[in-house]
Amino acid sequence: MPTKSHSFISESTMTSKEKIQLYHCRMGHPSFQVVKAIFPSLFKNLNVGILHCEVCELAKHKCVSFPISNKMSSFSFSLVHTDV
């Protein structure tokens, strides 16, 4: 049995917020200001500031760098650094 997904929901039963989120994802996660410029009718009585996309937020996180190490190898390949 198919799971409930935006693809299976009729657009007539979706709220404006759900439609905005769907178009935001389908268009490659542009800012909500861009989506508002393309679909202004969806943003009637809706503040852009309340919209949130977890994928966009996580994509902007910075990676933690490796700690500084003072270990020196005495010959080639005796010390290997990897990113797991």
Residue 39 lies in a domain: yes
Tokens 């910075």 -> residue: 62
Residue 19 lies in a domain: yes
Residue 22 lies in a domain: yes
Residue 41 lies in a domain: yes
- Per-residue confidence (pLDDT) for residue 23, from 0 to 100: 94
Domain that includes residue 45, residue range: 13-50
pLDDT means per 10 residues, the chain with 84 residues, are 52 84 94 94 89 90 77 82 73
- Per-residue confidence (pLDDT) for residue 1, from 0 to 100: 43
Tell me the three-class secondary structure of the chain, residue by residue.
CCCCCCCCCCHHHCCHHHHHHHHHHHCCCCCHHHHHHHCHHHHCCCCHHHCCCHHHHHHCCCCCCCCCCCCCCCCCCCCCCCCC
Say what the pTM is: 0.59
- Compute the distance between CA of residue 4 and CA of residue 24 in angstroms, rounded to an integer: 18
Say how many domains are in the chain: 1
